[in-house]
């Protein structure tokens, strides 16, 4: 996720120097999961999948700010243990009470500038299904804000086996200018459906919805999502559109995506669109009337980013990518779709904010979207990588000098932040140990990017980009760890990096 400009004074230093926005979004070792490369648009979901499958039929009621849904999940146990229960994150429930809403201090009043109203998910039924048979399992909502759904299985789920669950629920959407919420011109549906928690070497990951960072960690799955809404609305979504059909006063959109880590969408009756191709990828820009100039610029930025990162890191695997104007503090990444702050589309606003926020969020398609990581415990693996990728974009688009100045300023900013006590110099730590957006940004965005810059200095350009490409190839559609990246660095370069990693990630300076 892109950093919130008003919260991150340390990053404003970089913005001032570089005239840009450098952006975004209980230590455990993750168990790798091997999955095949994605196809463009799935036909029908396989009967015996090797990764989990989500089929969601949703009806959006913009007037009452409610979404009703029926969701079928075929959960695949890709671990070597029997599972006696399953867990799903219900992130929407964090918005039910002021006490659990995921915001710090005055950020709460920014998000709820129209006043607080609760957002949450209300379940009508939870069932296990097999053919025509249905069983109601024992289930409960637990965790801080009741953001965890626990389902007790009647029989343990064996390794390499699957089980199908069916949920019926209602989502009440809050008036929040956030990942999940609505405003006058938009309905943001990020992290809106029950999504399976990750089971790894340390067990189930059941972290709360933290107020700092992007507190998400998920496996890739296949999605078929059908959304029905009033015909005046346009839906921008993570996956490619398979079908759009008019049904009286309503319209239905059918989206399908394979091997995606999440599925988000934004609905608006104000969207205008522009599109173009970046290689084999259809890039779309969604923007509001009056913002045609910046909307088309956003399209070009998205295209250029994909082309540059394709060459630098490896090919973007999905058939579509959408850059969407909406209300959000800066930028937010989802697979195949990114939120961009509507303020950046104003013609009087500094154009580099739109440029580099779009670049950063596009970089997350590689670092978080395809190569996943635990964003609660090892956030530097996506935010540091995306921040460094901004420099790669500068090099390729504006020349080596531009990139060099960017990396030098990151290093200087990091030193100043440590000297000023903004953060303690420790990058590799969980979200629970960050005080605010300032120390989080200095550590995982700036500090993480500085570590990558140091690795490049030690190995040279050729081996550095070989490291990045190898890491991307080996961990596509998996969840990687810091240890995995360290192994790739040493394998490709033939050098040892234990001391370097410890200096930047773990030691207190």
9-18 helix and 400-419 helix, angle to the nearest 10 degrees: 150
For 292, the 3-state DSSP assignment is helix
- Using CA atoms, how far apart are residues 222 and 477, in angstroms rounded to an integer? 11
Asked whether residue 241 is assigned to any structural domain, the reply reads yes
Instruction: Answer yes or no: are the C-beta atoms of 257 and 295 closer than 8 Å.
Output: no
The verdict on residue 251 lying in a domain is yes
pLDDT at 274: 98
For residue 331, the Cα-to-chain-centroid distance in whole angstroms is: 10
Residue 475 has a pLDDT of: 98
pLDDT at 14: 36
pLDDT at 9: 35
DSSP-derived 3-state class of residue 426: coil
- The number of folded domains in the chain is 1
Q: In the beta sheet, which residues pair with residue 282? A: 277, 320
DSSP per residue, 385-424: HHHHHHHHHHHHHH-HHHHHHHHHHHHHHHHHHHHTTSS-
For every one of its 509 residues, what pLDDT tens digit does the chain have, with 9 covering 90 and above?
A: 754 333 333 333 333 333 333 334 422 333 333 333 344 444 344 445 789 999 999 999 999 999 999 999 999 999 999 999 999 999 999 999 999 999 987 789 999 999 999 999 999 999 998 776 789 999 999 999 999 999 999 999 999 999 999 999 999 999 999 999 999 999 999 999 999 999 999 999 999 999 999 999 999 999 999 999 999 999 999 999 999 999 999 999 999 999 999 999 999 999 999 999 999 999 999 999 999 999 999 999 999 999 999 999 999 999 999 999 999 999 999 999 999 999 999 988 888 999 999 999 999 999 999 999 999 999 999 999 999 999 999 999 999 999 999 999 999 999 999 999 998 899 999 999 999 999 999 999 999 999 999 999 999 999 999 999 999 999 999 999 999 999 999 999 999 999 999 999 985 33
In-domain check, residue 305: no
Residue 3, classed as helix, strand or coil, is: coil
DSSP 315: -
| Beta pairing, strands 241-247 & 234-237 | unpaired
Give 382's DSSP letter. H
CA–CA dist 429, 378 (Å, integer):
7
pLDDT score at 506: 86
The full length of the chain comes to 509
Task: Identify the CA nearest to 491 among candidates 454, 466, 458.
Answer: 466
Round to whole Å and give the CA distance between 68 and 288. Answer: 27
In a domain? residue 323? no
CB-CB neighbours of 295 under 10 Å: 23
Query: Which candidate, 209, 48, 74, 91, places its Cα nearest to that of 128?
Result: 74
What residue numbers bound the domain in which 489 lies? 1-263+351-509
How far, CA to CA in Å, does 231 sit from each of 244, 274, 289, 322? 11, 19, 18, 20
320: Cβ contacts below 8 Å, ≥ 6 apart: 239, 240, 241, 281, 282, 283, 284, 336
Antiparallel, parallel or unpaired: β 331-334 and 337-341 = antiparallel
The alpha carbon of residue 19 and the mean position of all alpha carbons in its chain are separated, in whole angstroms, by 25
Say if 86 falls within a structural domain.
Answer: yes
Does the global pTM surpass 0.75? yes
One DSSP character per residue, 172-233 reads EPPS-SSSEEE-SS-EEESS-S-EEPPEETTEE------SSS-------EEEEEEEEEETT-
CA atoms within 13 A on the CB side of 103: 23
User: What integer pLDDT is reported at residue 20 of this predicted model?
Assistant: 36
Rounded alpha-carbon distances, angstroms, from residue 409 to 24, 365, 388: 18, 25, 12
Q: What is the pLDDT of residue 44?
A: 41
SS3 50: coil
Q: How far apart are CA 138 and CA 126, in angstroms?
A: 9
CATH number at residue 447: 2.60.40.1730
Q: Flag whether 385 is in a domain.
A: yes
The closest of 320, 335, 258 to 50, measured between CA atoms, is 258
Domain contains 270: no
Would you say residue 298 lies in a domain?
Answer: no
Report which of 500, 418, 396 is spatially closest to residue 456, judged by C-alpha positions. 500
Q: Return d(Cα 250, Cα 409) in angstroms, integer.
A: 51
């Amino acid at each position: 996720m892109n950093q919130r400009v008003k919260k991150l004074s340390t990053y404003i230093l970089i913005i001032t120097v570089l005239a840009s926005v450098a952006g975004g979004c209980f230590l455990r070792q993750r168990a790798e999961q091997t999955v095949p490369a994605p196809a463009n648009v799935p036909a029908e979901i396989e009967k015996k999948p090797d990764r989990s499958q989500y089929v969601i039929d949703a009806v959006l009621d913009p007037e009452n700010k409610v979404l009703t849904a029926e969701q079928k999940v075929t959960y695949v146990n890709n671990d070597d243990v029997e599972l006696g229960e399953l867990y799903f994150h219900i992130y929407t429930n964090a918005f039910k009470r002021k006490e659990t809403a995921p915001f710090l201090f005055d950020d709460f009043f920014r998000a709820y500038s129209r006043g607080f109203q609760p957002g949450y998910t209300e379940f009508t039924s939870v069932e296990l299904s097999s053919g025509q048979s249905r069983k109601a399992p024992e289930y409960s909502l637990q965790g801080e804000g009741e953001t965890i759904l626990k389902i007790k299985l009647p029989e343990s789920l064996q390794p390499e086996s699957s089980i199908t669950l069916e949920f019926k629920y209602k989502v009440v959407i809050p008036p929040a200018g956030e990942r999940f919420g609505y405003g006058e011109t938009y309905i943001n549906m990020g992290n809106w459906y029950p999504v399976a928690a990750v089971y790894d070497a340390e067990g189930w990951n059941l972290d709360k919805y933290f107020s700092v960072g992007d507190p998400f960690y998920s496996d890739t799955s296949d999605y078929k999502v059908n959304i029905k809404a009033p015909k005046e609305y346009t839906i921008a979504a993570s996956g490619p559109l398979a079908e759009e059909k008019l049904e009286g006063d309503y319209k239905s959109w059918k989206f399908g995506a394979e091997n995606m880590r999440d599925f988000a969408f934004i609905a608006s009756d104000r969207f205008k669109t522009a599109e173009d191709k970046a290689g084999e990828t259809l890039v779309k820009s969604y923007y509001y009337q009056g913002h045609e100039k910046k909307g088309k610029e956003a399209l070009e930025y998205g295209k250029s980013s994909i082309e540059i990162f394709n060459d630098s890191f490896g090919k973007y695997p999905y058939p579509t990518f959408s850059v969407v104007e909406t209300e959000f503090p800066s930028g937010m990444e989802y697979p195949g779709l990114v939120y961009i702050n509507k303020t950046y589309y104003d013609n009087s606003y500094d154009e580099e904010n739109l440029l580099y926020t779009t670049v950063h969020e596009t970089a997350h398609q590689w670092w978080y979207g395809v190569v996943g990581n635990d964003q609660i415990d090892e956030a530097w693996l996506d935010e540091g990588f995306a921040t460094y990728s901004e420099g790669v974009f500068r090099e390729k688009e504006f020349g080596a000098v531009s990139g060099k100045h960017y990396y030098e300023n990151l290093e200087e900013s990091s030193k100043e932040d440590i000297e000023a006590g903004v953060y303690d110099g420790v990058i590799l730590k969980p979200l629970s140990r960050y005080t605010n957006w300032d120390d989080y940004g200095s550590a995982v965005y700036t500090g993480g990017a500085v570590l990558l810059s140091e690795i490049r200095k030690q190995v040279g350009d050729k081996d550095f980009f070989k490291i990045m490409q190898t890491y991307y190839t080996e961990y596509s559609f998996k969840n990687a760890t810091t240890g995995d990246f360290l192994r790739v660095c040493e394998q490709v370069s033939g050098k040892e990096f234990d001391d370097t990693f410890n200096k930047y990630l773990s030691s207190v300076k």
